[in-house]
């Protein structure tokens, strides 16, 4: 036995990702006395600037945006009671196809092994019992999300650690409900073209392929407030338009696929720490 606390490490791409996909589990497990470690890989410099100015538009200063987003990230961590924040501070690569994808200092252009060595050092330091990141497609194809997945899996191979490992996902039933709510809030929203609709239909997983369903309803208010802390990106955070009550209805369950486990905990499970306590 050891006095070392049970530890959750979440590896995310940008400031605000911690709240969207894992804000509930981070808040819940912090409340249960588990150490929560957030690793944010990029500086978020491709986000909106003051007044909603977009990357590439006059007045958009990536360095100033990165500083602003760092402050917002720290505020989000306070809301979620995250124990430890680690930033790798790679340059935000932007959305797929943006010129920033090709910037030599961007996260997307940094060799996986180079970033994985740094992450492996953090893993050896914190010795997480559970590690959470994205699937191989970064959930929806964002270059930095894909890179976060790659360096996480590579870093795990570099260590002798055997944590439970999870990839974030969403049930297809939840994706359908999300689409209905978006149309409710935007009744004039045009129907997506067939290619876009087909791509959207591939996001997430069939409900019966999800291994882990964690009820975080009691912490949905914290999750909402953590998202709201990223005020500069409010135009891009659709969930904030719902209000807390509707947000809790839609976002009170966080779902994952378990891809590594040495505990033998039965599936499906409702706790990332099943078999560990």
Question: What pLDDT, on a 0 to 100 scale, did the predictor assign at position 1?
Answer: 44
State residue 39 phi and psi, 5-degree precision. -110, 120
Tell me whether residue 143 is in a domain. Answer: yes
- 76 in a structural domain: yes
Residue 201: the pLDDT is 61
What's the number of domains the chain is made of?
Answer: 1
In a domain, 20, yes or no: yes
Task: For residue 2, tell me if it sits in a domain.
Answer: no
List, run by run, the mean pLDDT of 10-residue segments along the chain (277 residues).
Answer: 84 96 97 98 95 91 96 98 98 93 95 98 98 92 96 97 96 72 67 64 83 97 95 82 83 95 97 97
pTM (2 d.p.): 0.91
Q: Is residue 85 part of a domain?
A: yes
pLDDT at position 268 = 97
What is the predicted pLDDT for the residue at 138? Answer: 87
Domain that holds residue 255: 7-171+207-260
**Residue 176, in any domain of the structure:** no
CATH number of the domain within which 230 lies: 3.40.50.10320
Strand partners, 35: 7
Asked if omega into 86 is within 30° of 0 (cis), the reply is no
Q: For tokens 């010129």, what's the residue? A: 99
Q: Please classify residue 44 by burial: count the beta carbons closer than 10 Å to its beta carbon, then call 0-12 exposed, 13-18 middle and 19+ buried.
A: buried
pLDDT at 204: 77
CA distances from 73 to 37, 57, 141, 170, 197 (A): 13, 24, 23, 23, 32
Q: What are φ and ψ of residue 127, in 5° steps?
A: 50, 60
45 inside domain: yes
Q: How far apart are CA 29 and CA 184, in angstroms?
A: 33
With respect to residue 275, please indicate whether it lies within any of the assigned structural domains.
no
């Amino acid at each position: 036995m050891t006095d070392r606390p049970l530890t959750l490490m979440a590896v995310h791409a940008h400031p605000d990702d911690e709240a969207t996909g894992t804000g509930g589990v981070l808040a819940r497990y912090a409340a249960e006395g588990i150490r929560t470690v957030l690793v944010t890989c990029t500086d978020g410099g491709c986000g909106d600037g003051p007044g909603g100015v977009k990357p590439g538009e006059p007045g958009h200063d990536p360095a100033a945006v990165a500083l602003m987003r760092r402050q917002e990230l720290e505020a989000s961590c306070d809301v979620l009671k995250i124990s430890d924040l680690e930033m790798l501070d790679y340059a935000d690569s932007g959305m797929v196809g943006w010129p920033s994808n090709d910037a030599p200092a961007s996260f997307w252009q940094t060799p996986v092994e180079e970033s994985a060595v740094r992450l492996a050092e953090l893993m050896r330091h914190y010795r997480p019992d559970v590690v959470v990141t994205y699937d191989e497609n970064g959930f929806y194809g964002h270059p930095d999300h894909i890179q976060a997945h790659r360096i996480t899996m590579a870093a795990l191979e570099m260590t002798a650690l055997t944590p439970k490992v999870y990839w974030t996902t969403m049930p297809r039933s939840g994706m359908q409900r999300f689409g209905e709510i978006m149309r409710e809030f935007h009744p004039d929203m045009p129907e997506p073209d067939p290619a876009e609709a087909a791509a959207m239909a591939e996001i997430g997983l069939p409900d019966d392929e999800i291994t882990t369903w964690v009820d975080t309803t009691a912490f949905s208010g914290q999750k909402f407030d953590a998202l709201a802390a990223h005020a500069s990106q409010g135009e891009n955070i659709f969930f904030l338009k719902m209000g807390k009550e509707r947000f809790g209805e839609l976002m009170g369950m966080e779902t994952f696929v378990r891809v590594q486990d040495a505990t033998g905990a039965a599936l499906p499970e409702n706790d990332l720490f099943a078999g560990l306590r």
